[in-house]
Amino acid sequence: MAQYVPNFAKSPAELLIALVNNDNNFTHTVDEYTVQNLTVLDVPSEKGGDTMVELDLLNVPSEVEGDFYPFYYKRMPLSEVFSEVTTAELNKFRQVDVELDETGYPVDVAAFRAEILRKYGFLVTEADYDITLVSGGAGVGALKISAKASNVAYTGEFLMGVEDSLAARVFVTDLQGFSNDSIEEPAPEEPIV
């Protein structure tokens, strides 16, 4: 069995099936499985797994319906994917630029999720994560992204800074003594230089 290297741009379910494929030399997709009964174990499994799910491989010849088998593994803490930083350090180390409302929360959460994927290569789906405002105000914010209890790949949470710097830059209209108000329309008979 080769070492499994996760692709963070995949959904938690895709990561789980990639782990199953890696451990068993399979090439199945998420659509070929039914996953149920995510269970956090009180006592780790023999190999140190702290989580168990039941998997059923669908559409296999001689497949018996509903023959779920347990798969033991360890979900990844989000603090191992994103190092812990304080809210004061967020805009130095981890932030995305999206349009924010007056509280510092993204106006378009889908755009916020897309920006995390673009900038950090990490997929944050609505089904697997909660996003809550930690602090914020006009043009800046700090958000907590938490893995839901049903997330089959991750546990925990991490902080992400948000800034609406484009909006702040657009409102700058005074440039070295020139502003929109000082622009005069030339008279029609005067040449434009």
pTM of the model: 0.77
The whole-number pLDDT of residue 86 equals: 77
* Token duo for residue 23: 């451990």
The whole-number pLDDT of residue 163 equals: 86
The whole-number pLDDT of residue 6 equals: 85
Q: Are 133 and 62 in the same domain?
A: no
Q: Is the pLDDT of residue 62 over 80?
A: no
Do the domain assignments include residue 175? no
Q: Are 92 and 140 in the same domain?
A: yes
The whole-number pLDDT of residue 137 equals: 80
Do the domain assignments include residue 123? yes
**What is the average pLDDT across 102-125?**
93
The whole-number pLDDT of residue 76 equals: 93
Q: Is the pLDDT of residue 135 over 70?
A: yes
* Three-state DSSP class for residue 152: coil
**What is the average pLDDT across 59-72?**
71
Q: Are 149 and 84 in the same domain?
A: yes
Cα 96 to chain center, whole Å? 12
d(CA 9, CA 191): 56
Q: Are 87 and 147 in the same domain?
A: yes
Structural domain count of the chain: 2
Q: Are 70 and 100 in the same domain?
A: no
Q: Are 40 and 84 in the same domain?
A: no
Q: Are 103 and 146 in the same domain?
A: yes
Query: If pLDDT is split at 50, 70 and 90, which confidence band does 12 have?
Result: very high
The whole-number pLDDT of residue 56 equals: 84
**What is the average pLDDT across 47-61?**
81
Do the domain assignments include residue 191? no
Do the domain assignments include residue 133? yes
Do the domain assignments include residue 190? no
Q: Exposed (0-12), middle (13-18) or buried (19+): which is 77, by Cβ within 10 Å? A: middle
Do the domain assignments include residue 1? no
Q: Is the pLDDT of residue 59 over 80?
A: no
For 50, the domain range is: 12-74
Q: Are 51 and 87 in the same domain?
A: no
Do the domain assignments include residue 189? no
